[in-house]
Amino acid sequence: MKQLLNLDTWARKEQFHFFRQFDEPFFGVTVEIDCTAAYVQAKASGRSFFLTYLHTSLAAANEVAPFRYRIIEEEVWIYDRVDASPTINRPDGTFGFAYMDFYEDINAFESNSKAETDRVRAATGLVPSVSGQNVIHYSSLPWINFTAISHARSFSFQDSCPKISFGKMTEKGDRRVMPVSVHVHHALMDGFDVAQFLEKFQQKMDAL
């Protein structure tokens, strides 16, 4: 479900119209997330570490309203919930797109997402997801400890979905850290909103 945002009463009305005109309206940041607690908990419970941090980031994103905003035919709509459309890496070095519903309960999320992961890994080609605009585009580069990242984009396609990428987990003393890149549409949100997401994501990772 989604509802229309009233642009006339929105405090960011001018920013929306300003950044909507840009050829490249997305901006991005890359930060380091401490994943020590989340990694230990995932391993202790036999849970997939990938699905653990994917679920945690999706939970954080759903709590920050602008991450649920989408531009559809010149208007801004607010989705009640956003799900995940991640890339799934295959043993042959290729990848496919997947679609994973968000569940607040991590066990329900993992159960459903494992089936989707297995489906994509067993297939060939991109396997386009059935998702619409109510998703966050996720990708994982577990081989690279990146400090910045850019995304391939078709400017003729009106896309306003956030894009979140995860890099290689490395050890720093007794801590485990991982680079996380967040790219968002500037007509829909600002650095403050991204900071809120990152703060919630880190808090949830620490609390696992």
For residue 163, give both structure tokens.
């894009």
Token match 């703060």: residue?
Answer: 199
Query: What is the distance in angstroms between the CA of the first residue and the CA of the last residue of the chain?
Result: 29
- Which two structure tokens, joined as six digits, stand for 168? 């290689």
> What CA–CA distance (Å, rounded) separates 169 from 142?
7
Asked if 17 is an active-site residue, the reply is: no
What is the rounded distance in angstroms from the CA atom of residue 123 to the CA atom of residue 120? 5
User: Using CA atoms, how far apart are residues 163 and 186, in angstroms rounded to an integer?
Assistant: 13
Decide: helix, strand or coil at residue 135: strand
Residue count (the chain): 208
Whole-angstrom Cα Rg for the chain: 17
Annotated active-site residue in 17, 137, 185, 186: 186
Residues catalogued as catalytic: 186
